[in-house]
Structure 1
Amino acid sequence: MRPGAKIMFSIAAFLGIVALVYIFSTMWVQDDAFLYGLEYTGSIAILLAFLLAMMLGGYLQFTGNRIDTLPEDWEEAEVEDKAGVLGFFSPGSIWPFAMSLAVGVLGLGLVFMYFWMIALGAIMLIWASTMLSLQYGMPKEKH
């Protein structure tokens, strides 16, 4: 079993114990004279965290059994054995800033429920994300 799967299953085991303790303590321990019983919000949150950890552990276990030995598992591995393609990073682009402005306009529109501002922010966000995706696919004079 890979270390990632072991860590996720350990977290899941911890969350399972915490969920049991939390559920039984909220069901049987009364903090006042009138209100007691299962506390649904916390119980569901801890159970969902347990299920998420189990799901991730299962995925890591499933994929770990099907891949070859990774460079970090070799004793004689060098740093460059793990290095892959780093990709291309834009040295200077205005579009991430434009996207953040569009998200700001959209957020303000949602906060104050100005439908015209929501529409403007959505249009700005679609335009900025499209231009970010296409900035190196167009000739330099077009952007």
Structure 2
Amino acid sequence: MKVEAFLFGGVAAFFAGTAALYGWWSGEPAGTAALVVAFLMGALVSFFCTVQYRRRGRRPQDRRDAEVADAAGPLEFFPPKSPWPIVTALGFAVAATGVVYGLWLFLIGFGVLALGVAGMVFQYARRQG
């Protein structure tokens, strides 16, 4: 996942630079906000791939000396139940409502959204295998 982390990190850096230049030259908030959101999405995927690479190391697909049999076995662990998707959805809904009703509600929703995303990423961080 190291290659994917660098790829999406580059995408995030591109959108960050583009958002800064666009916001400075145009002064138009809607396009700047869209570019900032694109930066955040690329950064989130890059962060997730970096965490997964540090937890698991190189995959068989990343090694030149790997055999087909090295990739055999269970593909992934899927959690049986998790409260974090519901927390993330609630945080997004409150943040979206906060865009209409005020900054205070948006900040509360953003905090709940960040908690939900962090919970999903790190829910099984100490799990072995």
TM-score by length of structure 2 reads 0.51
Matched, 1:67 2:56: yes
In structure 2, the residue matched to 1:110 is: none
CA distance in 2, matches of 1:54, 1:9: 6
In structure 1, the residue matched to 2:36 is: 47
Q: Which amino acid aligns with 1:5?
A: A
CA distance in 2, matches of 1:5, 1:68: 13
Structure (1 or 2) with the larger CA radius of gyration: 1
Q: CA RMSD in A?
A: 2.2
In structure 2, the residue matched to 1:22 is: 22
Do the aligned partners of residues 42 and 59 (structure 1) sit closer, same or farther apart at CA in structure 2, a change above 3 Å counting?
Answer: same
Structure 2, unaligned runs of 5 or more? 76-129
How do 1:103-114 and structure 2 match up within 5 A? Answer: none
The structure with the largest helix share of the pair is: 2
Which 4+ runs in 1 deviate beyond 3 A?
A: 83-86
Identity of aligned residues (%): 31
Aligned residues: 75
CA distance in 1, matches of 2:74, 2:4: 23
Do the aligned partners of residues 85 and 64 (structure 1) sit closer, same or farther apart at CA in structure 2, a change above 3 Å counting?
Answer: closer
Deviation string 1:23-51 (CA, Å, 9 cap, x unpaired) is 01112xxxxxxxxxxx2221111000001
SS at match of 1:77: coil
